[in-house]
Amino acid sequence: MINSVAVGRRQAGRAIAWQAVATLLTALACLWWGWKAGAAALVGGAAVLLGGWIAARIGLGGGVDGAVPAMARLLAGMLAKWFVLVALMVIGVIALRLPPLPMLAATAVALVAQVVAMVRNP
């Protein structure tokens, strides 16, 4: 079977690995503007990583099922991902007083890394 759940899990793991590397590189680049910018980049990238991991666990956790439950799991995973992403970024800006621009930059870079990892076939 070409589109098995195991293939989806491997692809999600590969995407998370690419996101981790992209987040670390972005945080290193943001250190040029100070430690707060580097920490903000780590928070932004970590929010995408955690959200992606949660989305993969929810969306691919049910195994093989009918179309409606599978689509409902994927939708629930996507909603959970964006909720975690926004919540962690709000916590980073308001509670930790981190600058929002490096956080947004790392978020964008991590999301682009996810797209590149999903499109690329090893």
pLDDT tens readout for residues 39-96: 999 999 999 999 999 998 998 887 677 888 889 999 999 999 999 999 999 999 999 9
Question: With 70 as the cut, is the pLDDT of residue 35 above it?
Answer: yes
Question: With 80 as the cut, is the pLDDT of residue 121 above it?
Answer: no
pLDDT at position 65 is 75
The secondary element (H helix, E strand) that includes residue 121 is none
Whole-structure pTM value: 0.86
Q: Is the dihedral of CA 26, 46, 107, 101 positive or negative?
A: negative
pLDDT at position 5 is 67
Residue 76 domain boundaries: 5-119
pLDDT at position 60 is 82
Overall number of domains in the chain = 1
Q: Round to whole Å and give the CA distance between 119 and 106.
A: 20
When pLDDT is cut at 50, 70 and 90, the band that residue 15 belongs to is confident
Contact 50, 88 (CB under 8 A): yes
| Mean pLDDT for the stretch of residues 7-20 | 85
